[in-house]
Amino acid sequence: MSRVKVKRRIPSPKDLAQLLKFQKFILNPTKRRLSKALTIYDLRNIAKRRTPQAPFDYTDGGADTESSLTRARDAYEKLEFQPKILLNVKDVDISVKMLGKNASMPIGIAPTGFTRMMQTEGEYAGACAASDAGIPFTLSTMGTRSIEDVAKAAPDGRNWFQLYMWKDRDRSMALVDRAKAAGFDTLVLTVDVPVAGARLRDVRNGMTIPPSLTAKTILNAIPRPAWWINFLTTDPLKFASLDSWNGTVAELLDSMFDPTITYEDLKWIRGQWQGNLVVKGIQNVDDAVKSIEAGANAIILSNHGGRQLDRAPVPLYLLPEVLKAVGNKGEVHVDTGIMHGADVVAALATGAKFTWIGRAYLYGLMAGGKPGVDKALEIMRMQIIRTMKLLGARTVAELNPDHVRFIARYSDK
């Protein structure tokens, strides 16, 4: 067997110059941080470093054992895509028409409470980023900017308002009237909070509204001075729905929200609101059908991000049964556990009309304010496009159940 001897040489300066390419240093610290984030989990890691434990855990955690959140994530992790090949996917259109209007991509920002505790820009960052991205933003009843402030910050955005029915019905409907006057075109009624879930991280952290300065929080704040500087040097928390509160999150929810609300109330709200009405928190087929029959234009299959009932149904698994029962009588949307553009594609292929993200955008917010939210949405957008191309789908309408297969459901079998 012959052997070929490899000839060696001394590299020339020109050869070395082609290999030695240094990355340009980014002066802006926020841009520098965000430039390293390739996934939502990268943003989560940045957020955890920059945010005190109590507000971070409020975002990151679920109820009780957090199994509802874990199982929702597992549903996306354990499914299998079924790609189709030899299709022209040079150009991919991820826009959708949802409740009569176009969205640039099939995700929206879900309602999140106390958002300015995560990062001082709060709802302004979410609403403006959503407006720039061409997707809807939902202001929570428990938001930390007023309805009017959000409308002023994002006047060209598609702004929605999420309503919790209070024990004081007049105050609840006063919020609805304000949302209508501010140009919000859709009302989202959340129906899965007759009582606050057992959010044990919040209890262990002593999470209060506003945050309390204890020995523990002061020690936790030492390596995170930027958060506290922003919190203490900007205007005090202003809620969308109340003047002030001093106590825990659970105490606030239990004191305000009405556990007696029924389908008759849903019908009554339908009569009070002329715009689109969405019911959020559907967790079984019967309630999906009843909500549409009571006047909802769309429903959101959701277990509240795993923050209410432990061992709750997985929205993605519930989707096919609900679609079969609802038919074309109303739109079916999905949230909970969506952390990647591939999750969005999986939900759409399974039959969802639209998807919603909460934690995914809040991690971006905590990582870098409005630019961080922009980054989160851009990451999701690119992941959606890449996944669709790899599946052989050029439009959202081409996605169908043939593209996904559930290889495990609630178990490792």
Mean pLDDT of the chain: 90
Q: How confident is the model at residue 397 (pLDDT cuts 50, 70, 90)?
A: very high
Alpha-carbon distance of 81 to 93, in angstroms, equals 19
160 contacts 187 by C-beta, under 8 angstroms: yes
Contacts of 130 (CB under 8 A, 6+ apart): 108, 109, 136, 137, 154, 157, 158, 377
Residue 129 lies in a domain: yes
**Would you say residue 20 lies in a domain?**
no
Q: Given pLDDT bands bounded at 50, 70 and 90, which one contains residue 26?
A: confident
Report helix angle 285-293 to 263-272, nearest 10: 40
pLDDT tens string 243-259: 555 556 666 666 677 88
Predicted local confidence at residue 399, as pLDDT = 98
Q: What is the rounded distance in angstroms from the CA atom of residue 47 to the CA atom of residue 54?
A: 12
What HEC string does the chain produce?
A: CCCCCCCCCCCCHHHHHHHCCCCCCCCCHHHHHHHCCCCHHHHHHHHHHHCCHHHHHHHHCCCCCCHHHHHHHHHHHHEEECCCCCCCCCCCECCEEECCEEECCCEEECCCCCHHHCCCCHHHHHHHHHHHHCCCEEECCCCCCCHHHHHHHCCCCCEEEEECCECCHHHHHHHHHHHHHCCCCEEEEECCCCCCCCCHHHHHHCCEECCCCCHHHHHHHCCCHHHHHHHHHCCCCCCCCCCCCCEEHHHHHHHHECCCCCHHHHHHHHHHCCCEEEEEEECCHHHHHHHHHCCCCEEEECCHHHCCCCCCCCHHHHHHHHHHHHCCCCEEEECCCCCCHHHHHHHHHHCCCEEEECHHHHHHHHHHHHHHHHHHHHHHHHHHHHHHHHHCCCEHHHCCHHHEEECCCCCCC
| pLDDT classification of 11: cutoffs 50, 70, 90 | confident
pLDDT of residue 249: 62
Q: Give the whole-angstrom CA distance, residue 150 versus residue 123.
A: 7
**Over residues 96-121, mean pLDDT:** 95
Q: What is the CATH number of the domain that holds 158?
A: 3.20.20.70
For 256-274, how does the pLDDT look when each residue is reduced to its tens digit (9 = 90+)?
778 888 999 999 999 999 9
pLDDT digits (tens, 9 = 90+) for 146-199: 999 999 999 999 999 999 988 778 888 899 999 999 999 999 999 998 888 888
Buried b / exposed e over 81-109, threshold 16 CB at 10 Å, is eeeeeeeebeebebebebbeeebebbbbb
111 within 8 A of 134, measured Cβ to Cβ: no
| Amino acid, single-letter form, for residue 236 | P
Residues 311, 332, 83, 378: what is their CA dihedral angle, to the nearest 10 degrees? -90
Number of domains present in the structure of the chain: 1
Residue 23 domain-assigned (yes or no): no
- The per-residue pLDDT for range 280-316, each reduced to its tens digit, is 999 999 999 999 999 999 999 999 999 999 999 999 9
* pLDDT number for residue 250: 63
Residue 51 pLDDT > 90:
yes
Separation of alpha carbons 276 and 348, rounded Å: 21
Task: Give the distance between the most distant pair of CA atoms in the chain.
Answer: 93
Q: What is the pLDDT of residue 243?
A: 54
Amino acid (1-letter code) at residue 377: L
Question: Greater confidence, 146 or 407?
Answer: 146
Asked if the model's pLDDT at residue 207 lies above 50, the reply is: yes
pLDDT class for 236, splitting at 50, 70, 90?
A: confident
Is 49 within a domain?
A: yes
Q: State the pLDDT at residue 24.
A: 81
In this prediction, residue 413 has a pLDDT band, given cuts at 50, 70 and 90, of very low
Q: Would you place residue 234 in the very low, low, confident or very high pLDDT band (cuts 50, 70, 90)?
A: confident
Is a pLDDT exceeding 90 seen at residue 319? Answer: yes
The residue with tokens 């079924």 is: 82
Residue 335: which domain range? 30-406
Whether 340 is catalytic is: no
- pLDDT of the residue at 238: 64
Token code pair at residue 273: 């609101």
